[in-house]
Structure 1
Amino acid sequence: MSEVSVRPARPEEFAAVGALTVSAYVADGLIAADDDYVRELSDAAHRAAHAELLVATDDDGLLGSVTIVRPGTHYSEIARDGELEFRMLATAPAARGRGVGELLTRTVVEKAREIGASAVVMSSLDAMKTAHRLYERLGFSRLPERDWEPLPGRWLRAFRLAL
């Protein structure tokens, strides 16, 4: 296996990044292929225009992606002043077990440190237990006062890493 690196997504990759994100969520049973959220996950070009869109790659291509947002911007959900938020972290099903999600998360944390953020925050579906273990291993704590329900019965659990 070749080395995995993280960099900004390129415009010619946006369609593939969107498809990868959807495939990761569908493979995990988090959404159905006809879920309304598919449209938002697919639109990597919009994410790149309104946030920072990073990809994890190796010599064979795209392995994962993450969207980094600042408070008060289009994709921000729970970030407050001084915090950096990440969303839509996805690892291609074929790349699971290679540390892609961890590398992307660590990159977000490094970017937060670089800009002087006080914390990194994110929301995660209850069903994302593997991701929750990763976040806890990296030092994130639950932030239950910012849990929220974007749709009836679809609770998102908030996490925070103080820097």
Structure 2
Amino acid sequence: MAVSIESLISSMKWAAKSHLDEYGYEVDGYRVTLRRGTAPAASPDFGVSVVTEVEAGSVAGPGSPAGDGGKDAQNAITAPLSGICYLSKDADSAPFVTAGDSIAKGQTVCLIEAMKVMTSVVAEADGTIAALRVEDGATVEAGSVLFEVRP
């Protein structure tokens, strides 16, 4: 995987030390944005709350474990990393998307938490959520299918 936890932690430390409220970079097709104070839960270990945005479709490529039973990766939104998947911003909020919802490129469809870092999974293209393949609070592995999408 091109974006490692170690590189995220290193970037978080650098951004905090540099007193940046927001820092973004792209590596191997992954877009990562670190923002201070915007995650649902603060990260006390680093003094900065972080939300990363990864275009979900960019994960499934040649050799990627899409975990979709042979379906075309363009018809699925996959987990960009392993962690706990949240279908809404918090317990009191409505889900980001449900089956049948239309989605737009760049729209947040879920959050994945790994090592106190909340990663916002965003749609890579416009479409319609055909099916949810994950439950709220479930542990997911990188590359596993979260949503089936119709173009």
Relative to the length of structure 1, the TM-score reads 0.32
Relative to the length of structure 2, the TM-score reads 0.33
- Which structure carries more relative contact order (alpha carbon 8 Å, separation 6+)? 2
| Bigger helix share | 1
